[in-house]
Structure 1
Amino acid sequence: MKRLVIDTETTGLSPRINRTLTVGMLLVDVTEEFLNILDSHHIFIKHNNYNATPEAMAVNKINLEDHNNRAVPPQDACCEINNFIEKHNLSSTPLVGHNISFDKGFLGALFERGSTEQRFHWQSFDTMHIWNSLKRAGSVPYHLRANLQTVAGFFEIDYAGAHDALADCHITAQVYHRMLELIRKKDSQVS
């Protein structure tokens, strides 16, 4: 199953106030049996005003001066995203993300600022929500938090390089794959 894994790094928590710094996109073919990386793209976005919070910048560790040297304006970033979607014919491919509503909110604001129409498919799979469902079903320990670091740790997935949009896409893709494995295993035990 083709899936487009997405992640953003931002200057804060509010899509209306803060800005999207980077967008990671990872095209995967994934089932419970395999995970194949097909392509990836990492976009750095330059803004006139970042409205950065110290907390967000401490997490993502992005140096804005270095960032600006390779970043593109919002409209160009939106075109790059849409070109990636068109290149791989992904307009009907579901998205995958961890707390994907956060990323979709920032992507919506980015496309609005870039005066560009989004071409993402409407359907998405949120590994945070899947994790919480697995907890409620008793498939994973209920006391474990739903953040990406904890979920990756549970599945013994390397978390090095996290808080980089593309690295987080790779981690999320592996988490999604392992969740599909776990769901299939649990389903086969019930049958």
Structure 2
Amino acid sequence: MKSLIFLDVETTGLSSKRDRIIEIYMLKVAYEGDVEEYHTFINPERQIPGFITNLTGITNADVADAPTESQIAKNIRDFIGDGVLVAHNLSFDRRFLAAMFERNHCQPLPSGGIDTLGISMRLFPKLCIYPKGEGSHKLKNLMYHFHLDRDFANSHRAKDDVLLLVQVYRHLEKYAKGQLPYTYPRAMTHGCPRCGSAMQLIESGGKRELVCVKGSGCSERLVV
């Protein structure tokens, strides 16, 4: 059995051609249970935009003495080996890694991988938007849905995102295998029973209600 490589990258922007990885954290989990971690900052050889620093907390000073991608790409590729990549919105991380490996003449990534975002969307087509969840299928919203450790709620750093990703993956796996019951009202995972839109959890005065996000177009409210 191949190892699972849970990973997350922080970047200078959204374009894998123009932008660069500035931080990567990977957790390799072998079938036998052995765990290895890999973390590094990467000097992008360009300025980190202010909005990225505001989002991640990573500054130009943090990466000033870090290795450049030409110095570190082979080490990253060797760590991945033939493992199975696991990420939330895997296509984003794959694009940046693939571009870096191509620029530095490294072996291409293994094909395939596991995208927890896609799994969540298939299992829970209209996942409820929780308080401060910021979108129905984001990692943070899944954290609220599964009642996971909220220490990661305000983090946008690679390591914290990966540690949360591992917990989310384990819960999704149990749901997919039928090992966890669907104990939530169906509206929390499949949307408003009247119009099919996602619903938002509203907590006020000790009462919890699911409110259709369609707003004026649908007045459905369910007490949970």
Q: TM-score, normalised by structure 1?
A: 0.79
Give matches, 1:102-117, under 5 Å: 102-117=92-107
Q: Name 2:165's counterpart in structure 1.
A: 172
Looking at secondary structure, tell me which structure has more helix per residue. 1
The correspondence for 2:176, drawn from 179, 183, 190, is 183
Regions of 4+ moved over 6 Å: 186-189
Q: Report the alpha carbon displacement of residue 187 of structure 1 after superposing the two structures with TM.
A: 8.8
Cα RMSD (Å) of the superposition? 2.5
Q: Report the alpha carbon displacement of residue 83 of structure 1 after superposing the two structures with TM.
A: 2.7
Work out the percentage of aligned pairs sharing the same amino acid: 27
Q: Report the alpha carbon displacement of residue 186 of structure 1 after superposing the two structures with TM.
A: 6.2
Q: Report the alpha carbon displacement of residue 53 of structure 1 after superposing the two structures with TM.
A: 3.3
More relative contact order, 1 or 2 (CA 8 Å, 6+ apart): 1
SS at match of 2:6: strand
Cα separation, 2, equivalents of 1:79 and 1:111:
8
SS at match of 1:160: helix
The correspondence for 2:90, drawn from 97, 100, 117, is 100
Q: Structure 2 vs 1, CA of residues 188 and 158 (structure 1 numbering), >3 Å: closer, same or farther?
A: closer
- Asked which structure has the greater CA Rg, the reply is 2
Specify the code of the residue in structure 2 equivalent to 1:103: D
SS at match of 1:105: helix
Q: Report the alpha carbon displacement of residue 61 of structure 1 after superposing the two structures with TM.
A: 0.9
SS at match of 2:118: helix
Aligned residue pairs, count:
173
Cα separation, 2, equivalents of 1:182 and 1:99:
19
Q: TM-score, normalised by structure 2?
A: 0.68
Flag structure 2 segments of 5+ consecutive residues without an equivalent: 130-135, 183-224
The correspondence for 1:67, drawn from 63, 68, 71, is 63
Cα separation, 2, equivalents of 1:36 and 1:170:
16
